[in-house]
Structure 1
């Protein structure tokens, strides 16, 4: 085996050979990357100390590195495939929701379809559907809550109603009582989403018993799509 880690002192009368330093070796290999191709025996002769302490040949070390890289690529590919499958399943559920809302014959049916879809397909524990009083003249439809200008809900969500930005995260107990008074479980987190952001139609709130289900920095695409579907269905039944 060739060992480049040590050089012994020259004996009297022996010619001194100056070995290149690391930078020179690296520079040379960069200039001539085919060196090891022309001298493949070096791949087996050069020893590299393994992390465990044993010595392995350069070719064995390369195989080990390639194996590790391959494992990382396989893990990444598997993660991408899992994400694709999850997105496909979610798209199917959104399509099912859209069909349910389109086919709903009344506002009460829209509220019921939304709640059923969220519970059965998206594991949402409770749903709030509120419409602003000027747009919602009837206040007697089951599943729909009127949002009065100076009412408790408007005061509790004053900032949200002003900015009309999606609000996700843990929900305070007093707000839980306002939005989900009949929930079968304690709602710990919620996503509050405006309906027709520019027209002040109202908002929906999706509640979950899981404190981590809705987070401030989570993706908002699904929530926006749901709000658009609900808005379109509500407008169609209000006109």
Structure 2
């Protein structure tokens, strides 16, 4: 009587059944006919299917998910190869530039063309006196210089009325923006600012990785060191 009272107070749960079957692998060997009798609802309609058919469907779904993952990996790998090739072409162009005076324009133009960025501009300060009258060395406020120096990594996000938008050919089309500080070494003050802009609000966003932009900053900074006083 005591045992029956305990069973009534603690009825068998689904977890108890699942644990029993998990810990008793020979159960279905002793009751093989149950496997053929079990009927489940198919996820692809309300029809009933056998346990074996349901397992086959689950396996097909897993295979399909793995195929999608492989396709994504291949796609990302292809994109990375294309990006690396473009970066190499851009770097080669910087190395072959003989006239330092044209470097900022070349940097901005190549980035815009190779990486399909709608708008790109660049400003450089603390230049040698022979470059001070170039457009890229003018109209930079002390506030923007301070902002560039304060950036420890590229800023990516919506254009919150930044002064740099006025440097662009179409300021009103700069919805999202990337501000990339240029500096001779990691802890040094910035001596320039590279600006990328897009009318797409999601092109440059706060969640995106900045590793590639930091690589761009390092290469551009090294090339532009030829302009410095």
Settle same-fold status: TM greater than 0.5.
yes
Aligned to 2:100: 107
Aligned to 2:4: none
Aligned to 2:182: 195
Rounded Cα–Cα distance in structure 1 between residues aligned with 2:82 and 2:166 = 32
How many residue pairs get aligned? The number is 214
Rounded Cα–Cα distance in structure 1 between residues aligned with 2:180 and 2:119 = 14
Rounded Cα–Cα distance in structure 1 between residues aligned with 2:213 and 2:51 = 53
SS in 1 for 2:122: strand
Give a deviation string over 1:83-142, Cα, whole Å, max 9, x none. Answer: 111111111111111111111112333223212222221111222222233x44321235
Larger radius of gyration, structure 1 or 2?
1
Alignment partner for residue 56 of structure 1, among 45, 49, 57?
49
Rounded Cα–Cα distance in structure 2 between residues aligned with 1:22 and 1:170 = 52
Shift of residue 194, structure 1, vs aligned partner: 1.1
Q: Say if 2:66 is the partner of 1:73.
A: yes
Shift of residue 173, structure 1, vs aligned partner: 4.8
Rounded Cα–Cα distance in structure 1 between residues aligned with 2:84 and 2:29 = 51
Equivalent pair of 1:105/1:237 in contact (CA under 8 Å):
no
Aligned to 2:24: 32
Give unpaired runs (5+ residues) of structure 2: 1-11
Aligned to 1:46: 38
- C-alpha distance 208-108 of structure 1, shift in aligned 2 (>3 A): farther
Rounded Cα–Cα distance in structure 1 between residues aligned with 2:197 and 2:173 = 9
Greater share of helix: 2
Q: Say if 2:158 is the partner of 1:170.
A: yes
Normalising to structure 1: TM-score of the pair? 0.76
Question: Could you say what the CA RMSD is over the residues aligned between the two structures, in angstroms?
Answer: 2.9
Equivalent pair of 1:160/1:167 in contact (CA under 8 Å):
no
Equivalent pair of 2:109/2:120 in contact (CA under 8 Å):
no
